[in-house]
Structure 1
Amino acid sequence: MAKKIQILIVGHNENGYTHEVGKIAYETGAEVAKSGAVLITGGLKGVMEAASQGAKDAGGITVGIIPQNEASFANPYCDIVIPSGVGLARDFLNALAGDGVIVIGGGSGTLSETCAAYMYKKPIVAIKNTGGIADKFADQYIDHRKNVLIIGVSTPKEAVQTILEKIKSNTT
């Protein structure tokens, strides 16, 4: 059996999270599940919880890699919880666990995960008009190295289609 594609969704935790961003995260998680990919998140609240709920409601598999050392901190929509116990360093675990990354809004934690993915040349897609890091870096490189262009998209469906295309083109 072939390895399932793993898509990391990063974005606002409960600080900066809005109903509109939550709806987009939910729809993006559902699209990940419909594609047959596994959803990876940081396993906590905000975008992570909304995306996980969307994936679960669509019949998908959800993994939460949390910074704490106790699984009880994870949101209730995580099928598999990995309590890393390494605090914010877990951002690198998240980035490496995903074959590609979708950014929805986000602050400094999202930037940390996005930068880790960028350093490892993972495909990255940002959903425009969700604020924060997604809007700041959509259709741009993070730095002069130009490791990967962060592709700006407009909808959850487009985000998942685009990231799947990029992941598949990286493995062929």
Structure 2
Amino acid sequence: MAIVGVMGSGKVEWEALSTPLGKWIAEHGFDLLTGAGLGVMLSTARAFSTTEGRTGRSIGIVPSEPHPVSGFAAIAGYPNPYIDLPILTPLPRKQAEAPDDALNRNYVNVLTSDVVVALPGSQGTLDEIRLARRFAKPLICIGPAGFFGDVPPGTRIVTELADVYEFVLATTRQVDLASTLKS
């Protein structure tokens, strides 16, 4: 089962995009991966988790902070209540002032996903888009083009969810075929 990573704003839900996307991912039997927070992460996971008959799991990569007893603890508010499988990582959220090569949980978000769908967001989303390009992960961005002004040249940006669905299906068929050939 392929993992569809959905990246986007931690503040704005972009419900017109994230809700139908989360539901579609669930209906097609994929696993969903998000950063386990609010905004796009919350609305996509909510739509995914409340879809009747889903077989996939909602995976959340949870950022942490140092804790005096357990070493690391989830940052307050993480994971959101729609995450089936929270994965606590000792890696922090991407800080705006951190250099581009600073390790953070965005690496886990991108590298664990078989395909990355990016909705509008801020610096963290842009970092995930750049990482997806750097590590040659299948990537598609959905939303108004003005929200993706700083993405690397050649990044595919669409405005229709139908284009995202077609891309995910085509990409995951290739992932399934590659897995079959390896076995």
TM range (shorter): 0.7 to 0.9
1:128 to 1:117, Cα distance in 2 relative to 1, 3 A:
same
Shift of 1:67: 1.1
Corresponding residue to 1:9 among 6, 29, 36: 6
How do residues 1-172 of structure 1 correspond to structure 2 at under 5 angstroms? 4-14=1-11, 17=12, 21-58=14-51, 59=54, 60-68=56-64, 69-71=72-74, 73-88=78-93, 89-129=104-144, 132-133=147-148, 137=151, 142-143=152-153, 149-169=154-174, 171-172=177-178
Q: Is the 8 A contact 1:105 1:130 kept in 2?
A: no
Q: Is the 8 A contact 1:106 1:131 kept in 2?
A: no
> What is the RMSD of the two structures over their aligned residues, measured on CA atoms?
2.1
Shift of 1:108: 0.5
Shift of 1:157: 3.9
The number of equivalent residue pairs is 155
Shift of 1:165: 0.7
Question: Structure 2 length normalisation: TM-score?
Answer: 0.76
1:115 to 1:78, Cα distance in 2 relative to 1, 3 A:
same
Shift of 1:113: 1.1
Q: Which has the higher helix share?
A: 1
1:105 to 1:131, Cα distance in 2 relative to 1, 3 A:
farther
Q: Is the 8 A contact 2:33 2:61 kept in 1?
A: yes
Secondary structure, in 3 states, of the residue corresponding to 1:54?
Answer: helix
Secondary structure, in 3 states, of the residue corresponding to 1:70?
Answer: strand
Structure 1, 109-118 or 37-46: larger mean CA deviation = 109-118
Question: Structure 1 length normalisation: TM-score?
Answer: 0.80
For structure 1, the 5+ residue unaligned runs are 144-148
Counterpart-to-counterpart distance in 2, 1:121 and 1:129: 23
For structure 2, the 5+ residue unaligned runs are 65-71, 94-103, 179-183
Counterpart-to-counterpart distance in 2, 1:79 and 1:27: 19
- 1:107 is aligned with what amino acid? S
User: Which of the pair has more CA radius of gyration?
Assistant: 2
Shift of 1:22: 2.2
Identity %: 24
1:95 to 1:54, Cα distance in 2 relative to 1, 3 A:
same
Q: Is the 8 A contact 1:25 1:50 kept in 2?
A: yes
Secondary structure, in 3 states, of the residue corresponding to 2:5?
Answer: strand
Q: Deviations over 1:96-129 (max 9, x none)?
A: 0100100110110001111111111011111132
